[in-house]
Every structure is written in structure tokens, then in C-alpha cells.
């Protein structure tokens, strides 16, 4: 079994999410390493979770940390191969780190800058994770994304459901999608309904 497109699940905080996603052949699991966040994962917690899974790549997620501090912090988090950040300039500083890089941005910040940003990301081989402000993308937002995805690798992080995921990947020329993990109701007990519906829609037979 496999998934028909690249899938990253971010904000992982518990083993239930991690094991489920690994079992569904998700490509990347993301962990928030920004200490001010409610989803911050301590190094001990990170090792407890990742020690039970295999065959899946791991991402460190940041909002505002500086590049040097990120590299120092990653020494405590083994096997991280992706870095996600909301500041493009920080990612540029990390271009020689040997990590895959993801620039997380709101689609409305890209108005009138689509071609400029797309060219820069393509030249630096940086992925873009685009989020929208609402549950459904507007036509204008789709047009912005399409202009970028013509040149750079775009991962869509909002407006996704089991009913539109395949059509969005195709019509917007997406590299893949990004979804978010959730909180456990109690240890070992999770409501996977929405996440499962989308991943099951993407399942393909080997």
C-alpha cells in the first residue's frame, strides 16, 4: 500500500498519531521544536515517540528561531532530515545544512509576488507549504498557488477534504499536501476520522 501524493503530517505530539501515520505510509512527520508553542516536543518526548516508528522521515517545525540556534537544537533531536520555517531568510541561511527545507507561508502574503518567490524557491530547492485563511480556497488563492507550483514544489496545507484532495493535487499541480496531528483524548485513544478519510482517499495499491 502507498499514497498517491507526498503527505506531511505536522504538529505531532503523541505516539498514537505517529504510529498511525507511519502505518499509512505518510512521507514526513513534523514536530514543533519552538519552545513557546503549545505543541513543543521535548527531546525526551521526541525520542520516546520516534523510537517506535520506522520508514518515515522527520521534520523540525519552527516559527521564529534563528538559524544558528536551530542547528544547535537539532543536535538533541536525532534523524531530523527536514526543517520547516515561517521565515524564508532563515531557510536561506540553512541552505547548506544538508536538510530538506520547507517555507511555510499564508497564501495572501504572496499576492503580486508569486513569480518572484517561486523563482527564488526553485533556485534554492526549497519547498513551499501554503496555507489559506479559510476552510476553502478562493479562486484567487488557487490562481496564486498555480503560478507558484508551475516553478516550485508546493505543498498545500489547508482547504483539503476527502472530497477534494485528489482534484486539488491535480488541478493545482501540487507536490503534495500537509495535514495536522491532534491531541489524544487519553493515552492511546484518538479520533482519526478526518485524517483517516483523507489518507484513505489517497491510498493506492502497490
Phi, psi of 166 (to 5 degrees): -70, -40
pLDDT band at 191; cut points 50, 70, 90? low
Residue 190: which pLDDT band, with cuts at 50, 70 and 90?
A: very low
Q: How high is the pLDDT of residue 194?
A: 82
Predicted confidence at residue 183, as pLDDT, reads 64
Average confidence (pLDDT) over 8-13: 95
Residue with more model confidence, 194 or 189:
194
% of the chain exceeding 70 in pLDDT: 95
Spatial separation of the C-alpha atoms in residues 13 and 4, rounded to whole Å: 25
pLDDT higher than 90, residue 206: no
Query: How far is 156 from 6, CA to CA, in rounded Å?
Result: 10
pTM of structure: 0.94
Strands 80-85 and 176-180: unpaired
Mean pLDDT of the chain: 92
127 closest CA partner among 163, 160, 151? 151
Amino acid at each position: 500500500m502507498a499514497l498517491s501524493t507526498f503527505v506531511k503530517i505536522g504538529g505531532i505530539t503523541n505516539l498514537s498519531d505517529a504510529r498511525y501515520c507511519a502505518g499509512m505510509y505518510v512521507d514526513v512527520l513534523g514536530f514543533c521544536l519552538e519552545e513557546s508553542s503549545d505543541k513543543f516536543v521535548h527531546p525526551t518526548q521526541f525520542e520516546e515517540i520516534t523510537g517506535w516508528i520506522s520508514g518515515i522521515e522527520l521534520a523540525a517545525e519552527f516559527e521564529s528561531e534563528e538559524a544558528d540556534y536551530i542547528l544547535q537544537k537539532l543536535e538533541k533531536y536525532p534523524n531530523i532530515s527536514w526543517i520547516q520555517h515561517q521565515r524564508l531568510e532563515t531557510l536561506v541561511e540553512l541552505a547548506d545544512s544538508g536538510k530538506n527545507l520547507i517555507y511555510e507561508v499564508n497564501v495572501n502574503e504572496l499576492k503580486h509576488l508569486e513569480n518572484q518567490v517561486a523563482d527564488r524557491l526553485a533556485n534554492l530547492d526549497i519547498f513551499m507549504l501554503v496555507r489559506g485563511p479559510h476552510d476553502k480556497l478562493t479562486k484567487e488563492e488557487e490562481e496564486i498557488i498555480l503560478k507558484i507550483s508551475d516553478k516550485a514544489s508546493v505543498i498545500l496545507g489547508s482547504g483539503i477534504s476527502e472530497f477534494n484532495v485528489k482534484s486539488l493535487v491535480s488541478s493545482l499541480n501540487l507536490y503534495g499536501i500537509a495535514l495536522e496531528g491532534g491531541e489524544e483524548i487519553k493515552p492511546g485513544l484518538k479520533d482519526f476520522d478526518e485524517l483517516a478519510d483523507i489518507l484513505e482517499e489517497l491510498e493506492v495499491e502497490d
